[in-house]
Amino acid sequence: MIELERLTKKYGAKTAVDGISATIKPGIITGFLGPNGAGKSTTMRMIVGLDRPTSGTALVNGNRYAATRAPLAEVGALLDAKAVDGGRSARNHLLALGATVGIGKRRVEDVLASVGLTDVAHRPAKSFSLGMGQRLGIAAALLAEPDVLLLDEPVNGLDIDGIQWIRELLGELAADGRTVLLSSHLMTEMQLVADHLIVIGQGRILADSSIQDFIEESGGGSAVVVVSPDAGLLAPLLAGDGVTLTTREPGRFEVRGRTAPEIGDIASGHSLRIHELTPTQASLETAYLQLTQDSVEYAGTTRKAA
């Protein structure tokens, strides 16, 4: 478990993390989202003692990480996959890390196999592609079988097979009762793997909830797209408490608060025609963009056609 209590980090006049409090629980995958510059990486670095908080605390399983007797066995972290001696082979990199907590060759070979690097384990890390470097970083995080995992953009550079593999791996780690904190800008992946979300913007927590609640509270959630030449007659029949109807174009509207079977039964009962009933689910990306639109620090612009 990770516990953050009024955690704050200032760099001169700049407040990178502004008094955030949260609990990252074991047994689930917690997604950590926020725009560039929101404070995600700084928060993760403070958890593992790479940055010292200006105030507040970050505890791992009830203790400060710096006070842990075997840090590698407490927290496995992938914060920067390039933070490896490029002249050292993947195998020797893991052997050196393992020596700090009494881990030998057998476990190193097991981890190399699990991340798919056995055949290239003799090669120097500097020769690795981005995806291979990510796999080595994940191997280092898993090496001592820690209870807590911090992974910053773990799918960066991975191919389709690698992305599928990391999805399954994260699910297995959470199912084993481990605490998994996952940072990523890939909303589709986050929606597929995460159970819970913490969203920060400009150093402050904007949301701390399950993914489903996050989407629902954004005004999204499930809806049904209805296409009917009798839309003008059908729409009033669907109205009711908790039902929202939004017209997209003539003969096409969106219904929230009723299921597709309910809509079909109502239309059939009044002999009204339906050409399409399509259940939809709002995306995490849409909900995230709506929440963070006022918290983007580095916003670009696009040129409009003349």
Q: What's the structural domain count of the chain?
A: 2
Residues 37 and 147 in one domain: yes
**pLDDT score of 306:** 42
Instruction: Kindly state the DSSP code that residue 50 receives in the 8-state scheme.
Output: S
Query: What CATH number does the domain containing 272 carry?
Result: 3.30.70
Q: Where among 210, 236, 258 does a domain terminate?
A: 210
Residues 53 and 88 in one domain: yes
Residues 270 and 202 in one domain: no
**pLDDT score of 300:** 54
Residues 147 and 265 in one domain: no
Residues 107 and 234 in one domain: no
Residues 15 and 108 in one domain: yes
Parent domain of 190: 2-210
Rg of the chain in Å (alpha carbons): 24
**pLDDT score of 298:** 53
Give me the amino acid identity at 19: G
Residue % of the chain over a pLDDT of 90: 63
What's the pTM value of the predicted model, to 2 decimals? 0.78
The backbone torsions φ and ψ at residue 105, rounded to the nearest 5 degrees and listed phi first, read -65, -40
Residues 204 and 226 in one domain: no
Query: What CATH number does the domain containing 172 carry?
Result: 3.40.50.300
**pLDDT score of 297:** 60
180: left (phi over 0), alpha (psi -120 to 50) or beta: beta
Q: Contact at 8 Å (CB) between 294 and 38?
A: no
Helix (H) or strand (E) holding 300: none
Residues 42 and 185 in one domain: yes
Residues 116 and 184 in one domain: yes
Residues 247 and 176 in one domain: no
Listed residue (188, 124, 183, 135) closest to 161, CA to CA? 135
The backbone torsions φ and ψ at residue 16, rounded to the nearest 5 degrees and listed phi first, read -80, -40
**pLDDT score of 85:** 87
**pLDDT score of 92:** 94
**pLDDT score of 305:** 44
Residue 243's contacts (CB-CB under 8 Å, 6 or more residues apart) are: 255, 256, 257, 258
Per-residue pLDDT tens for 166-179?
999 999 999 999 99
In a domain, 302, yes or no: no
Q: Contact at 8 Å (CB) between 240 and 52?
A: no
Residues 80 and 173 in one domain: yes
Six-digit token string for 304: 């409009």
Strand order in the sheet with 179-183: 75-78, 148-152, 179-183, 29-33, 196-201, 204-210
Distance CA 166, CA 154 (A): 8
In a domain, 294, yes or no: no
In a domain, 298, yes or no: no
Residues 105 and 78 in one domain: yes
- Mean pLDDT by groups of 10 residues along the chain of 306 residues: 96 94 96 91 94 95 86 90 87 92 92 94 92 92 94 88 90 95 89 93 93 76 88 93 86 90 95 92 79 66 48
Six-digit token string for 38: 């929101």
**pLDDT score of 159:** 86
Using CB atoms within 10 Å of the CB of residue 11, give its burial: 0 to 12 exposed, 13 to 18 middle, 19+ buried.
exposed
